Amino acid sequence: MRAAVALMAMLLLAGCMQQDGAQPTQPTAPDYSYDLLVKDVSTLPQNVYIGDNYTVEVFVQRYGVYAPSAYRLRVFDSGQTLYDGIVSKPGLMESFSFNYTDADDQPHNIRVYVESADILHSEPPLSLENNFLQRTVHPQPLGYYGACYSCMHLYYDAVSYVMRQAQSINMTRGFTVHRVGLYLRAAASAPNNAPVVVEICRDDRGQPGEAIASSSIEGAEVGHDPAWHYAQFQNLTLPAGRYWIVARLDTTDSYGVQWARSEGNPYGEEYDTMAMDLTDWAAWDYKRFDFVFQIY
């Protein structure tokens, strides 16, 4: 009997001790009240060309039941700050445009950051991974350079001592030329003293005029298979206008090279190319197609 009473007393004491002890802590539910995110970064135009201007477009979206009073938006183009400011009373989706950014020949690293500026209610920590987005813009060179060599048929026109070829270019704004690329091949290798001369000329009533600058491509480097070859220019800044790229050889020590072209005018207009054959008539004549070239 005494043992039973003692056991009952121990059970009652244990129950009292359990009631007096601390209750297990319940985990705090995650805060999903709102989520800011950079939805997209794009450019207008979609294809950015070296020397042109382009617009950066940013889309910021929020989710959740809570509407933050404001957020801070920061937009960078490589080392340049396009925007750093507060957006008050943002909607569910906001779009922002930033005009105009000069496109040089380097990749442009577009970076966008958004963060809550609501003093009373900060953005939940679990949502912060969506607050950043970046896009790298690779400006394309000016010119017609064959977007798909494997799916188009190219033709080749001779550049030699007696044959000169010319391609016009139209600059819509001032532009600094660093190098000009020609897509070339050669029937026979040229000696080292037979460079391909590349000139940038003014327009003279629709044909090549006075040479503004001259460079060269080493003829011995042009092989049988077509490839890109570049003439380097320094401190050549051209105002807006029409100019001509002229390719020629000044020596008879080489059979010359062949410059790739395409039928039609994928780059520009019908009268963008000309040729001069010194064995026939030393005057420029229209060819009505486009050569394959690049300008950086």
Q: How far apart are CA 94 and CA 262, in angstroms?
A: 44
**Which residue, 195, 148, 145, is CA-closest to 169?**
145
Residues 151-160, mean pLDDT to the nearest whole number: 83
Evaluate if residue 160 carries a pLDDT over 70: yes
Q: CATH number, domain at 53?
A: 2.60.40.10
Confidence tier at 11 by pLDDT (50, 70, 90) = very low
Residue 130 belongs to a domain:
yes
Same domain, 107 and 157: no
Residue 15 belongs to a domain:
no
pLDDT attached to residue 153: 77
Summary mean pLDDT of the chain: 87
Residues spanned by the domain of 218: 149-295
Residue 10 belongs to a domain:
no
Confidence tier at 140 by pLDDT (50, 70, 90) = confident
Q: Which of 104-118, 156-170, 191-205, 278-292 has the lowest mean pLDDT?
A: 278-292
Tell me which of 71, 105, 137 is where a domain ends: 137
Residue 6 belongs to a domain:
no
Q: How far apart are CA 51 and CA 65, in angstroms?
A: 45
Distance set, CA 224 to CA 158, 164, 186 (Å): 13, 20, 5
Same domain, 188 and 291: yes
Classified as helix, coil or strand, 76 is strand
Confidence tier at 235 by pLDDT (50, 70, 90) = confident
- Phi first, then psi: give them for residue 26, nearest 5 degrees: -85, 135
How many other CB atoms are there within 10 angstroms of residue 26's CB atom?
A: 6
Confidence tier at 32 by pLDDT (50, 70, 90) = confident
Same domain, 156 and 197: yes
Q: In terms of pTM, does the model score above 0.75?
A: no
Q: How far apart are CA 199 and CA 267, in angstroms?
A: 19
Total domains in the fold of the chain: 2
Evaluate if residue 184 carries a pLDDT over 70: yes
Q: How far apart are CA 226 and CA 186, in angstroms?
A: 8
Distance set, CA 146 to CA 80, 183, 227, 283, 292 (Å): 32, 10, 12, 29, 7
pLDDT attached to residue 284: 94
Residues 142-156, mean pLDDT to the nearest whole number: 68
Size (the chain), residues = 296
Same domain, 64 and 102: yes
pLDDT attached to residue 121: 94
pLDDT attached to residue 69: 96
Q: Is the peptide bond before 45 cis (omega within 30 degrees of 0)?
A: yes
Q: Which of 40-44, 56-60, 80-84, 139-143 has the lowest mean pLDDT?
A: 139-143
Confidence tier at 5 by pLDDT (50, 70, 90) = very low
Tell me which of 110, 137, 164 is where a domain ends: 137
Computed from CA positions of residues 282, 166, 181, 238, in that sequence, does the dihedral angle turn out positive or negative? positive
Q: How far apart are CA 154 and CA 76, in angstroms?
A: 41
Same domain, 242 and 269: yes
Tell me which of 137, 162, 184 is where a domain ends: 137
How many other CB atoms are there within 10 angstroms of residue 53's CB atom?
A: 15
